[in-house]
Amino acid sequence: MTNSWSGITPPSLDDIAELAQEAIDRLPPQYITAARAVLLRVEDFPADEMLDELDLHDPFELTGLYEGVPMTEKSVMDQPHGPDTIWLFRRPILDEWHQRENVLLGDLVAHVFVHELAHHFGWSDAEIARIDQWWAPHPSDS
Instruction: Give ∠ CA 8-12-13 in degrees, rounded to 5.
Output: 170
- Strands 64-67 and 85-89 turn out to be antiparallel
Is 4 a domain residue? no
**What pLDDT is recorded for position 130?**
73
Q: Which amino acid is located at 54 in the chain?
A: L
Is 7 a domain residue? no
Is 77 a domain residue? no
Is 8 a domain residue? no
Is 3 a domain residue? no
Mean model confidence pLDDT for the chain? 82
List the single range of 24-38, 52-66, 98-112, 124-138 with lowest mean pLDDT.
124-138
Is 1 a domain residue? no
Domain that holds residue 22: 13-70+82-131
pLDDT tens for 76-121 read 666 667 788 999 999 999 999 999 888 889 999 998 998 898 877 7
The pLDDT > 70 percentage for the chain reads 77
pTM of the predicted protein model: 0.80
Whether residue 138 has pLDDT greater than 50: no
Number of domains the chain contains: 1
The DSSP symbol for 29 reads H
Is 137 a domain residue? no
Q: Kindly write down the DSSP assignment for every residue of 77-118, as one continuous string.
A: TPPP-S--EEEEEHHHHHHHHHHH-SS-HHHHHHHHHHHHHH
Is 138 a domain residue? no
